Amino acid sequence: MRRRKLLFFSLILATLAIGVVIGTVINRSVNADKPGIAPGATAIAIPSPTQLSSEFTRIAKMVEPAVVNINTETIIKSQSRDRRQSPFGSPQEDPFDFFERFFGGPMDGPRRDMKTRALGSGFVVDKAGYIITNFHVVEKADTINVSLASGDEYKAKVIGKDQGTDIAVLKVEAKRDLPVAKLGNSDGMTQGDWVLAIGSPFGLEQTVTAGIISATGRSGSRFQRFLQTDAAINQGNSGGPLVNMAGEVIGVNTAILTSTGQNAGVGFALPSSTAANVYNQLIKTGKVTRGAIGIQMQTDATAATLRALGAPDGKGVVVSKITPDDGPAARAGLKQGDVIREINGRKLNDSLELSSVVAELTPGKSVTLKFLRDGREQTATLTIDDRAKILPKDDTDPVEESAPERGGTKLGMTVQGLTPQQARDFDMQPGEGVLVTNVQVGGVADDAGLRARDVILQINKMPVRNAEELRDIVAKLKPESEVLFLIKRLDRQTGDIGTLYLAATLP
C-alpha cells in the first residue's frame, strides 16, 4: 500500500512539474508578442472596421441635403423627311422612314418636334438658391427642373455659364433658405486622400460612392486642371460634388475616361478653387474674364527641346511668339525662345498649366515670372491683361458663328482651329482647315451630313484656314443658295482619312 501511495504521489508531482514547464514556455512565447518587449518596436494598431464607414455616413448626411438632381428638356426641331445621299454613295435611310413603311404609316406627313431629356447633378452653394453644375448639363436645355433631397422641385434659370471650364450657375426661387454645401480648398488635396462623389448616376438620386484622389493637376482644356479620382462617376454624376473627409466640396465631377461609357475607375473633377473663381465672376457679371500675358506657347515642346533651350531637367514653357507687340510680355522684355519656369513662385511643367494659372488671374494683377534665356535664369514682373482684349482672334478657342440676320446664312455648327497634333492626325499642315466641334440638329451643316470632328477645308471652293475666314465666307452666302463643303473625315474603324464633298441648301 505504501508503495502504491508513493507511486501515486510521484505521478502527481511529475504531472505538476511538466505543467509548470509547459506554462513557462507558453508564457515566454506570449510575452515575446507583447508590445514593448522588442527594443524600438511599436505595436501595430488595427482600426475598427466600422470607423471609416461611420465617417462616410457622417459626411454623406452632412452634404446630401445640398446636392440636387437636374432634369433638363430640350426640343429638337423637326427635319425634312427627304432621304439624303450618303457621302459614300449609298442612300442614308431615316429610321422613321423604315418604321412607317413597315407599319404602313404616311411617308410624307408632317413630322413633330422631338423632346429629349437629360440628367445631371449639382449642389447648392448659397441659401438663396444658387447652384453650381456643369455647363454641358444645361448647355442646350429649354427647361431645367431641379429636385432637392427633401423632395422639393423647382424650375431653374441659368445665371451664367462658362464653356472653357464647363461650369454653369443656376438659380431657383425657393420659399425658404436652402441647405448649402461648403466649398473647401482643393489646393490642399494630395494623391491618396479619401473622397466621396455624390450625385444622380443614371437618375439614381443621392448616390454616394467612395474612392481616393488618384492624381492632381491632370490636363483638360487650356483652362482646366483636373483632380483625378477612382470614386465611381457615371452618366448623371456630372455637376455633382466631390467631397473631402471634412465634408467640404473640393471638386465638381465633370468627366470620365472610359471605353464603355460607364465608370472605369478614372474620373475627373474640376477643382473647387477654379469653380469658385468662375462662380464669383458669373454671379457678378454673367461672364468670365480671363487673364493673359501676351505670348504664344509651344504646346508640343519635348524634353530634348527644353534642354536645348537651357532647361537641364526638360521642364518649363517655351515662348514661341510674343504677341501683341505691346502686350504684357513684350513690355516686360520676354523674347521668343525664353523658357518660363515659375509664376509667382509656382513651378510650371507644361503650357497647359501656365494657361490655366494665368487664366484665373485678374487683369491688372502684377505677377513675377522666372524664365531661362540661354541657360541663365532671369526674373520679370508684368501686369496681367484681359485675354479678350489682347487675343481677339485666338483660333484655338472654340468659336461660334455670329447670329444671322433674318433669313440669313448661319450654318448651324461650332468650329475651332486645329492644334498642331490634330493637324498631324489629319496629314495636314498647321494653318489649314477648321475642326467641327458641334453640329446643330436640323441646321445646314447637319443637312449636308457634317459631323463633329470633321475638318472643313473649303466652302464653295474657297479655302478655310481659320474661324475668321469661315465667318467671312458665311457672311457672303445668300439665302436659298447651295453650299458645297470639302472636308476630311477620319474613319474610326479603319483609321483611314477620306476627303469628301458634301452639300446643302441654305434656308
Closest CA to 369 of 390, 349, 348: 348
Between CA 500 and CA 498 the distance in angstroms is 6
328's grid cell? 504684357
For the chain, what percentages of helix, strand and coil (3-state, to nearest 5) are there? 25, 35, 40
- Residue 80 is placed in which grid cell? 425634312
Distance CA 300, CA 422 (A): 12
d(CA 232, CA 197): 7
Burial class (CB in 10 A: 0-12, 13-18, 19+), 60: middle
Out of 162, 166, 338, 454, the active site residue is: 166
CB atoms within 10 A of CB 62: 16
DSSP letter at 294? S
Is there a contact between 489 and 451 (Cβ–Cβ < 8 Å)? yes
CA–CA distance, 321 with 324 (Å, rounded to integer): 9
Q: Which three cell numbers stand for residue 238?
A: 456630372
Q: Which amino acid, residue 469?
A: E
136 carries an active-site annotation: yes
CA distances from 448 to 20, 65, 458 (A): 97, 47, 14
Burial class (CB in 10 A: 0-12, 13-18, 19+), 364: exposed
Catalytic position from the list 186, 200, 214, 238: 238
3-state secondary structure of 160: strand
- Give the separation between CA 369 and CA 382, rounded to whole angstroms: 8
Distance CA 401, CA 258 (A): 32
SS3 471: helix
Residue type, 19: G
Q: Which DSSP helix (H) or strand (E) runs through 370?
A: strand 366-373
* DSSP 8-state secondary structure symbol assigned to residue 458: E
Query: Using an 8 Å Cβ cutoff, are 444 and 484 in contact?
Result: no
Catalytic residue selected from 136, 152, 193, 320: 136
Please, are residues 226 and 254 in contact by the beta-carbon 8 Å criterion?
yes
Question: Burial level of 246, CB count in 10 A (0-12/13-18/19+)?
Answer: exposed
Active site residues: 136, 166, 238
